[in-house]
Amino acid sequence: MTDTLLALDGLTKAYPGVIANDGVSFRIAPGEVHALLGENGAGKSTLVKMIYGLVKPDAGRMALRGAPYTPDRPSEARTNGVAMVFQHFSLFEALDVAENIALGMENPPRRRELAASIRQVSHDYGLPLDPARLVGELSAGERQRVEIIRCLLQNPRLLIMDEPTSVLTPQEVEILFATLRKLSSEGTAILYISHKLDEIRALCDAATVLRRGKVVGTCVPRETTAREMAELMVGTTLHTPERRHRENGETLLELRGVSLPAATPFGTNLHALSLKVQAGEVMGIGGVAGNGQDEFLSVLSGESLQEPGRVFVDGVDIGALPPQTRRSLGVLAAPEERLGHAAAPDMTLVENALLTGSVREKLAPHGLVNWAATRAFAARIIEAFDVRTPNADVAARALSGGNLQKFVIGREILQAPRVLVVNQPTWGVDAAAAATIRQALLDLAGQGAAVIVISQDLDELMEIADRFAALNAGRLTDPRATAGLSLDEIGLMMGGAHDMEVAHAAQ
């Protein structure tokens, strides 16, 4: 592989206040699986958006097969054989699979022919899909298949994949890798973006590591240890959270057969969830996105109410209590979506401190807001969790993802919860902030609280959880101790690749 498919030379892109890419150069050969490695915020997304024609570089050059390559828009990239599978999907829930695929093609054939080629290609690459199904009804893994098929139908020379495995079970990851290897053997180059080092070592031929927008190193992943790559990526030696010895406490939270119909057309129904969580325990809830995580959190936060006899904290039936009453009992939550759910983007940090803090911190006695006390509470959060912000009067949306997440988690932890539920506590957060947050959750459990961590990051759950259960299509598996649990077993708890087998059987 001496020839070059894509060459990047000194690509630079600045946004106000931040240089997203600073003189990035590397090359990809045909058929090469090239990893682009970096933390959240390292500039990976900006770089691939430039290659895909969504963003225009301020400086630098690209060359495709030796010819200058300056895509003005994605369609131009696509006609040049560059295709992309997005991290946050570029799909339309209310449209069917064939329509979604047609939208991503330059000159889609007539519907009947398109449906036939979708069936054909999806079968060839082991990614079965029904062209007539609405995308909203598909699982996250199946949606990704739609994106991949959309790319494959155009015979790409370069396939860009942005964090493709975050929505897959370990078994589905294996199937995806098999597909990618087949593609690569057929000569398609793959630019594979991830921060999961084991995957990169298993799949990729070469890796370029980005940190704060700059290339800080290149390596051959198979010859480099995960630890070396991690240090290259983060720039410092990582601190692993300390797990403390835990004694069995008494049951603090109990769910008895919680069911919930989905609130939105394409939401997930919860089916008879039962679970006991002890004081001092970190309970990890795994599962691929869209299997009922949001709904599960809403049952505990009080955004969805239950009939009596379903949810107990300390023996008190809280299932029908509204959020504020639950907070007064010490049941707190931090939802996944920071902007718009856990925090109001356009309101200040002070106001966002009041958002959940009013009850337990007594910030609004008799309904009258004590702004001085609220300000002090916000300052305490900022101080204790090292939230980087000029002051407490900036809008929440002005903070970086990691800083806002520290604020949101800190806001709940400082209220001394007895039960805390967090969803995706370190999603999109840089490594240092993630470590802080994980340590804080462990410390909270150490003080005797019951902590439920919902996450799609299995490494995270294995690191901090005492027990593990998986959400799969709105059902919860029996929890098992994390010590000694293998990746394969976890994958099976998450549903394995069962929908693939079903789909294969249907062929």
Partner 1 sequence: MIRLEKRPTPSQAWTVLTPPVAVLATMVAGGLMFAALGKDPFEAIRTIFYDPLFNDQFAAYSRPQLLVKAGPLILIAIGLSLGFRAGVWNIGAEGQYIVGALCGAGVGLAMYPSGSVLVFPAMVMAGALGGWAWAMIPAILKTRFNTNEILVSLLLVYVAEQLLASAALGLLRNPEGGGFPGSRNFQQWPAAANPELITGTGMHWGVVAAFVAVIGAYALLSRHLLGFQIRLTGAAPRAARFAGVNPTRLVVICLGLSGLLAGMAGLFEVTGPAGQISIDFGSGYGFTAIIVAFLGRLHPVGILLAGLLMALTYIGGELAQFMLGVPAAAIQAFQGMLLFFLLAVDVLSNYRLRFGTREVA
Partner 2 sequence: MAGISIELLLASLMVAATPILFAAIGEMVVEKSGVLNLGVEGMMITGAICGFAVAVETGSPALGFAGAALGGAGLSLVFALLTQVLLSNQVATGLALTLFGLGFSALIGQGYVGIKPPPTGSLDFGPLSDIPLIGPVLLRHDLLVYVAIALTAAVWAFLRYTRAGLILRAVGESHDSAHALGYKVVRIRVLAIVFGGAMAGLGGAYVSLVRVPQWTEGMTAGAGWIALALVVFGAWRPWRVLLGAYLFGGITVLQLNLQAAGVRVPVELLSISPYLITILVLVVMSSDRRRVALNAPAALGRVFHASS
- In sequence order, which residues have a C-beta less than 8 Å from that of residue 154 and are 6 or more positions away? 78, 81, 83, 105, 106
Is 17 or 315 the residue whose CB approaches partner 2 more closely?
17
**For partner 2, the closer CB: 105 or 373:** 105
**Shortest CA distance to 129 belongs to which of 98, 155, 90, 169?**
98
- Binding residues among 388-417 for partner 1 as defined by CB under 8 A: 393-395, 397-398
Shortest CB 303 distance to partner 1, Å: 5
> If binding is defined by CB under 8 A, does position 247 make contact with partner 1?
no
Binding-site partner at residue 397 among partner 2, partner 1, none, CB < 5 to 8 Å by type: partner 1
Taking the CB of residue 221, how many other CB atoms lie within 10 A of it? Answer: 22
Nearest distance from residue 204's CB to partner 2, in Å?
Answer: 24
HEC secondary structure over 95-120: CEHHHHHHHCCCCCCCHHHHHHHHHH
Which of partner 2, partner 1, none does residue 90 bind (CB under 5 to 8 Å by kind)? partner 2
Residue 24, beta-bridge partner list: 11
Contact indicator for 454, 421 with CB cutoff of 8 Å: yes
The listed partner (partner 2, partner 1, none) that binds 80, CB under 5 to 8 Å by sort, is none
Least separation in angstroms between CB 348 and partner 2: 21
Question: Which one of 167, 333, 465, 469 is in contact with partner 1 (CB under 8 A)?
Answer: 333
The footprint of partner 1 on this chain (CB under 8 A) covers a number of residues equal to: 41
Site for partner 1 in 146-185 (CB under 8 A): none
Q: C-beta of 481: minimal distance to partner 2 in Å?
A: 40
320 touches partner 1 by CB under 8 A: no
**Interacting residues with partner 2 (CB under 8 A):** 45-46, 49, 53-55, 73-75, 78, 86, 88-95, 99, 102-104, 108, 264-265
Q: Closer to partner 1 at the Cβ: 192 or 377?
A: 377
Contact flag: residue 1 with partner 1 (CB under 8 A): no
456 within 8 A of 289, measured Cβ to Cβ: yes
Q: Is 364 in the site for partner 1 (CB under 8 A)?
A: yes
Q: Which long-range contacts (CB under 8 A, 24 or more apart) does 24-29 make?
A: 24/60, 24/210, 24/213, 24/214, 24/215, 25/60, 25/215, 26/208, 26/215, 26/218, 28/4, 28/158, 28/189, 28/191, 29/1, 29/2, 29/3, 29/4, 29/5, 29/189
d(Cα 409, Cα 332) in Å, to the nearest integer?
10
If contact means CB under 5 to 8 A according to the sort of partner, which of partner 1, partner 2, none does residue 343 touch? partner 1
Please report, as residue ranges, which positions from 467 to 496 form the binding site for partner 1 (by CB under 8 A): none
- Report d(CA 428, CA 14) in Å as an integer: 20
Q: Does 262 bind partner 1 (CB under 8 A)?
A: no
The structure tokens listed for 33 are: 């699986």
Q: Quick one: which segment of 234-242, 249-257, 342-350, 455-463 binds partner 1 (CB under 8 A)?
A: 342-350
Cβ contact 192:34 at 8 Å: yes
Question: Residues 303-306: contacts with CB within 8 Å, 24+ apart?
Answer: 304/260, 304/263, 306/258, 306/260
Kindly state the helix (H) or strand (E) to which residue 244 belongs, with its residue range: none
Nearer to partner 2, 46 or 436 (CB): 46
Which residues ranging from 268 to 307 are in contact with partner 1 (CB under 8 A)?
301-303
User: Which stretch, 91-99, 211-219, 309-317, 364-372, contacts partner 1 (CB under 8 A)?
Assistant: 364-372
Query: What does the alpha-carbon distance between residue 344 and residue 362 come to, in Å, rounded to a whole number?
Result: 20
225 interacts with, out of partner 1, partner 2, none, CB within 5 to 8 A per kind:
none
In which residue are the tokens 């807001």 written?
Answer: 369
Residues at the site binding partner 1, with contacts judged by CB under 8 A: 16, 53-56, 58, 72-73, 301-303, 322-324, 327, 333, 335, 337, 340-348, 351, 354-356, 358, 364, 367-369, 393-395, 397-398
